Amino acid sequence: MSTFALISDPHVSVPNPETGWYAPPIPLEPTMYDRSVELLDAAIDEINALPELDFVLVAGDLTRDSEPYNHDKARELFTRFRKPVFCVSGNHDQPRPAALRPRAYLDPHVTPVRTTEIPRLYGDFGFENSQRTAFSCDPTDDVHLVGICSAKPDEDRGYIAPEVLAWLDDDLAKHRNGRETIVMLHHSIIEHVPGETVNPTFSWFHVENAHELKAILRKHGVRITLTGHLHIQDVKEEDGLHNIVTASLAGYPHAYRILTLRDGVLDVRSRRLSSIASQPDLQAFSRRFTADAFVNVISDALVAAPFNYPRPKAEVAACKLRDWWPSVADGDEQFSYTAEELGDAALAAYVNAFSDRPPADNELEILLRDA
């Protein structure tokens, strides 16, 4: 039996220790960068208090925008866990081009860490080979863990390089030894929202060549993949392969997971941070904060294709949908908006299509090959 914790997207963010520089607030950005250290500290305290735990996983976006000092802080915080920690990097753990992050929000005094530098920096957290942006290990007698840095250089989407795919194929062929393989990366490999692979609004959440990765995983009977990036709680299954997405610790709903592998079953339980010292009403505050941000995000989306609303109409519709994305982030969401309510049958059909389908997103058991 193995029990492990899973967190994702902590987005560690501190002032530059030499200059004091700190990024200004980003419009329409619901991630609580200014509370990121406090939130991760709270999660560490809760996870350390668990009586039975074998290891901890962190599924990428370790930092705000890959500032060297934020990586230093992330590593420092990870050492506070009482159990071994294994991590991968995400799209925020590499240099951000101007098209993705305006220069006003990037520290001009430092050179961001590149994905190729992650294995050297995080050698104590899974990466035994400093030249490979992927690793594997056997943290317990019944788990074979694979970690892959999945960010495509200079983009937010995911991509697994051919040499990493070849290494993965070879690793899975050699190192199963009766253990259950769990693969962790940052980007999703199964669609979690409608049109994720083709809709420009969401395609950057996906691994561009996911079909190649999934072919290797299926070849070797892998059933479980763990990802982050979407900042939502969601689980999807495709032909026996499960992709478990865990929300950002730095944003609503501030969730993490406790997973237990026992007798051919993976038991998945979700927990949320309920409060931190600076925000005792964390859940209520953060949900309002996220809803307010997404009113503007949705309004901007509705003035563009395919809806092409006039701005006043978009703003009215967005206000009616202010609770929609926080509900998606919660997981297990079900929607029943009407054409009369939103004033547009097409919009109602679109947002209702985000209603969750089985399996459950927060509390579930997954039957594995040996069940």
Specify the pLDDT at position 371: 42
Average pLDDT for runs of 10 along the chain of length 371: 98 98 92 98 98 97 98 98 98 93 95 98 97 97 97 96 98 88 98 90 93 97 97 97 98 98 96 98 98 94 94 97 98 98 97 97 90 42
Q: Residue 180: in which H helix or E strand, if any?
A: strand 180-184
Instruction: Kindly calculate the radius of gyration of the chain based on its CA atoms and give it in whole angstroms.
Output: 20
Largest CA distance in the chain: 61
Residue 306 C-alpha from the chain's centroid: 27
Q: What are phi and psi of 155, to 5 degrees?
A: -140, 165
Alpha-helical (H) ranges within the chain are: 36-48, 68-78, 118-121, 162-174, 210-219, 282-302, 311-320, 324-330, 339-342, 345-352
The rounded distance, in Å, linking the Cα atoms of 302 and 173 is: 48
C-alpha span between 84 and 135 (Å, rounded):
15
Token pair for 47: 């996870």
CB–CB of 323/333 below 8 Å?
no
Give the pLDDT confidence score for residue 367 in this predicted structure. Answer: 96
Query: For residues 325 and 327, what is the distance between their CA atoms, to the nearest angstrom?
Result: 5
DSSP state of 13: -
- CA 217 – CA 225 distance, rounded (Å): 9
Give strand pairing partners of 234. Answer: 245
Total residues belonging to the chain: 371
Given a contact cutoff of 8 angstroms between Cβ atoms, the answer to whether 87 and 122 are in contact is yes
Which structure tokens are listed for 24?
């200004």
CA separation for the pair 346, 122 (Å, rounded): 47
The pTM of the full predicted model, rounded to 2 decimals, is: 0.97
Single out the residue of 291, 311, 290, 288 nearest to residue 301, CA to CA.
Answer: 311
CA dihedral 213, 215, 218, 224 (to 10 degrees): 20
pLDDT of amino acid 27: 85
As a whole number of angstroms, the distance between CA 272 and CA 46 comes to: 10
Token duo for residue 173: 């062929």
